[in-house]
């Protein structure tokens, strides 16, 4: 509540901030939740939703502020700060970067960004604090990106602006993301809007702590640099007026799968790489989004043992983006597969999710969203905890978001 009051106080400073070339936006998010039956992953369970364990509750669960400072016409500083109360109360910095993009009168324009930032994966989550304007729960792809992927480094962009289309290329060198991929191997995919900030400690399923004889809860920091190597990503986007957008991205954290952090409880590195392809188009008042991701994450903690997990996910979203009432439907599919197959009790999963949301936007500062999320999944690891491997679960939410 102190964090929410602090953010509300910042909102009172918005008019003065805008007068000083500072653009500040934020929100406070309150929910009424009917939880899914299976214990949620934020509580150490194997559930696929943010809220699990059954029951109904109401809470003001998160708030965020995004601030951009126009230092010169070509130089902009930006940061996102979030407070959230799921799992444990936390106030964290999501990203912070400085971008130089000179004014250009020619079709070509270049830019350089330095700092800590999300890789440009998402076509869905473009609102404050890595949230979606379409639904309360993000797709499986964007849920994972918000939890484990962040780079500290430099990103360069080159943009060509034609009469009817724009082509943009991006190349980045990043570090401090060596453990990224552990969640996909240890927990698998999830459908949530929980975003972790820099320095946050993400919880693994309790079944892993019990097997490894570790104290509960077992947490790790996915934003560490263990081996001194630079990771990278490169991508291209084509946007045509009247047609839509097509985006392609290749990501590789280049982590040494045999490296680990120092200390009594070392965090292991996972070599994670993937391809992502996405598309956006419009039919009348309906926006169509589609995205697919395919990759793997590998670990080699000793010369006698190594393993990798292949992961795949995709979604299709259709939503109305005009008027006071804005319905949205999204279908997700996902899977992971631990290899080699000779591993005893190897971890695998596959599943799908259906999200139905109805947004009511009576005015610019208020959004009321009702959402029904149904997840059907099979995960062999549940049997180690004495549960059926197959699970169907439904989570219902009514969200009230006040924006400034």
More confident residue, 173 or 129: 173
CATH numbers and ranges of domains, the chain = 2-403 (2.40.160.10)
Handedness of CA 213, 215, 216, 220 (dihedral sign): negative
Q: What is the pLDDT of residue 90?
A: 86
pTM, entire model: 0.93
Q: Rounded to an integer, what distance in angstroms lies between the CA atom of residue 31 and that of residue 368?
A: 10
- Kindly tell me if the per-residue pLDDT of 52 is higher than 50: yes
pLDDT digits (tens, 9 = 90+) for 374-390: 999 999 999 988 899 99
pLDDT in tens, 185-199: 999 999 999 999 999
pLDDT of residue 148: 96
Q: Which pLDDT belongs to residue 20?
A: 53
The tens digit of pLDDT for each residue in 273-325 reads 999 999 999 999 999 999 999 999 999 999 889 999 999 999 999 999 999 99
Place of tokens 């509960």: 216
**Which of 134, 46, 131 has its CA nearest to residue 351?**
46
- Strand pairing class (305-320; 325-339): antiparallel
Alpha helices in 200-249, H assignment, sequence order: 206-211
Average pLDDT over residues 45-68: 93
Q: What is the pLDDT of residues 199-232, one digit of tens each?
A: 999 998 998 777 777 788 889 999 999 999 999 9
Residue range 249-270: average pLDDT? 93
Report pLDDT for 17. 45
């Amino acid at each position: 509540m102190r964090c929410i009051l602090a953010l509300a106080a910042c909102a009172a400073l918005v008019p003065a901030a805008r007068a000083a070339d500072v653009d500040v936006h934020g929100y406070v998010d309150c929910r009424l939740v009917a939880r899914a039956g299976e214990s949620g992953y934020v509580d150490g369970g194997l559930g696929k939703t943010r809220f699990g364990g059954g029951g109904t509750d109401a809470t003001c669960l998160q708030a965020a502020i995004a601030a951009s400072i126009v230092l010169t016409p070509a130089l902009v500083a930006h940061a996102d700060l979030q407070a959230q109360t799921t799992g444990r109360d936390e106030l964290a910095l999501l990203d912070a970067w400085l971008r130089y993009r000179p004014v250009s009168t020619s079709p070509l324009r270049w830019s350089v960004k330095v700092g800590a930032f999300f890789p440009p994966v998402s076509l869905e989550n473009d609102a404050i604090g890595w949230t979606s304007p379409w639904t309360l729960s993000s797709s499986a792809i964007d849920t994972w990106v918000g939890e484990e992927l962040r780079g500290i480094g430099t990103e360069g962009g080159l943009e060509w602006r034609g009469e009817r289309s724009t082509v943009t290329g991006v190349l980045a060198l990043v570090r401090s993301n060596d453990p990224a991929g552990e969640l996909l191997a240890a927990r698998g995919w999830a459908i949530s809007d929980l975003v972790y900030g820099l320095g946050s400690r993400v919880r693994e399923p309790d079944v892993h702590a019990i097997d490894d004889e570790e104290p509960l809860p077992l947490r790790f920091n996915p934003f560490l640099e263990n081996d001194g190597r630079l990771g990278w990503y490169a991508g291209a986007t084509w946007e045509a007026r009247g047609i839509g957008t097509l985006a392609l991205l290749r990501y590789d954290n280049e982590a040494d799968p045999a490296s680990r952090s120092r200390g009594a409880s070392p965090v292991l590195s996972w070599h994670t790489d993937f391809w992502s392809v996405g598309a956006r188009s419009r039919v009348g008042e309906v926006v169509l989004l589609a995205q697919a991701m395919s990759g793997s994450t590998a670990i080699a903690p000793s010369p006698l043992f190594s393993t990798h997990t292949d992961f795949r996910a995709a979604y299709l979203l259709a939503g109305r983006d005009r008027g006071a009432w804005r319905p949205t439907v999204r279908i997700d599919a996902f899977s992971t597969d631990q290899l080699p197959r000779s591993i005893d009790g190897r971890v695998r999963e596959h599943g799908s999710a259906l999200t139905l949301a109805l947004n009511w936007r009576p005015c610019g500062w208020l959004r009321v969203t009702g959402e029904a999320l149904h997840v059907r999944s099979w995960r062999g690891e549940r049997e180690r905890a004495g549960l059926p491997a197959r699970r169907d679960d439904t989570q219902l939410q009514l969200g009230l978001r006040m924006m400034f």
